[in-house]
Structure 1
Amino acid sequence: MSNLRTFDLNLLVAFDVLMRELNVTRAAEQMFITQSAMSHTLHKLRQQLDDPLLVKTPSGMKPTERALALINPVRALLAETERLIQPPLEFDAATSQRRFVLAATDYIEFLLMPELSGLIENIAPGIDLHVKRTETSFPVAPLENGSLDVVLGFESVLNPPAHLHRQYLFSDKMACVVRENHPLISKPPSLEEFVAVPHMLISRTGSNVGIIDQKLAEQGLERRIKLIVPHFLSAPLIVAKTDMILSLPYRIADQFTKIAPLVIFPVPLELPDYDLCMIWHPLRDRDPAHQWLRDKIIVIAGLINQSKMKL
Structure 2
Amino acid sequence: MDFHGIDLNLLAAFDALMSERNVTRAATQVGVSQPAMSAALSRLRKLFGDPLFLRSAAGLLPTPRARELAESISQALRQLEATLISKPDFVPGEAKLTVNLGLSDYPAFVLLPALLEALAEQAPHISINVHAFSDRDQAVALLDAGAIDAAIGMPPTHPDGRILTLPVLRDEFVTIIASRHPAARGGMNMKTFLSLPHALASPEGQRHGLVDQMLAQQGYKRTLALTLPHMFALPGVVARTNMTATVMKRVALTSPAGRMLALFPPPVALPEIVFHLIWHRRSDGNPAQQWLRTLIESVASGL
TM interval, short-chain normalised: 0.5 to 0.7
For the Cα contact (< 8 Å) 1:138–1:160, is it kept in 2?
no
Q: Displacement, 1:145?
A: 4.1
Is 2:159 the partner of 1:161? Answer: yes
Q: Displacement, 1:175?
A: 0.9
Regions of 4+ moved over 6 Å: none
Q: Displacement, 1:273?
A: 1.2
- From the superposition, tell whether residues 91 and 144 of structure 1 become closer, same or farther in structure 2 (CA, over 3 Å): farther
Q: Displacement, 1:138?
A: 3.7
Q: Deviations over 1:28-71 (max 9, x none)?
A: xxxxxxxxxxxxxxxxxxxxxxxxxxxxxxxxxxxxxxxxxxxx
**Corresponding residue for 1:43?**
none
Deviates more, 1:227-236 or 1:199-208: 227-236
For the Cα contact (< 8 Å) 2:168–2:277, is it kept in 1?
yes
Is 2:224 the partner of 1:197? Answer: no
**Corresponding residue for 1:222?**
221
Q: Deviations over 1:267-306 (max 9, x none)?
A: 10111112221111111111001011101101111102xx
Is 2:150 the partner of 1:150? Answer: yes
Q: Displacement, 1:260?
A: 3.8
Pairs within 5 Å for 1:208-219: 208-219=207-218
Q: Displacement, 1:160?
A: 4.8
For the Cα contact (< 8 Å) 2:102–2:131, is it kept in 1?
yes
For the Cα contact (< 8 Å) 1:176–1:253, is it kept in 2?
no
SS class of match (1:186): helix
Instruction: Compute the RMSD of aligned alpha carbons.
Output: 2.1
Amino acid at match of 1:140: V
Deviates more, 1:238-247 or 1:225-234: 225-234
CA distance in 2, matches of 1:160, 1:280: 14
- From the superposition, tell whether residues 97 and 256 of structure 1 become closer, same or farther in structure 2 (CA, over 3 Å): same
Amino acid at match of 2:152: L
Percent identity among equivalent residues? 29
**Corresponding residue for 1:290?**
289
Amino acid at match of 1:153: G
SS class of match (2:291): helix
SS class of match (1:206): coil
Pairs within 5 Å for 1:229-308: 229-256=228-255, 259-304=258-303
- From the superposition, tell whether residues 193 and 257 of structure 1 become closer, same or farther in structure 2 (CA, over 3 Å): farther
Amino acid at match of 1:161: P
Q: Displacement, 1:235?
A: 2.4
**Corresponding residue for 2:179?**
180
CA distance in 2, matches of 1:284, 1:187: 53
CA distance in 2, matches of 1:87, 1:216: 57
Deviates more, 1:144-153 or 1:255-264: 255-264
For the Cα contact (< 8 Å) 2:176–2:264, is it kept in 1?
yes
SS class of match (1:234): helix
**In the comparison of the two structures, how many residue pairs are matched?**
219
SS class of match (1:237): helix
For the Cα contact (< 8 Å) 2:197–2:224, is it kept in 1?
yes
For the Cα contact (< 8 Å) 1:144–1:283, is it kept in 2?
no
**Corresponding residue for 1:106?**
105
Amino acid at match of 2:150: V
SS class of match (2:101): strand
**Larger Cα-atom Rg:** 1
CA distance in 2, matches of 1:234, 1:140: 27
Amino acid at match of 2:113: P
For the Cα contact (< 8 Å) 1:154–1:275, is it kept in 2?
yes
**Corresponding residue for 1:73?**
none
Unmatched runs of 5 consecutive residues or more in structure 2: 6-83
**Corresponding residue for 2:44?**
none
- From the superposition, tell whether residues 183 and 252 of structure 1 become closer, same or farther in structure 2 (CA, over 3 Å): same
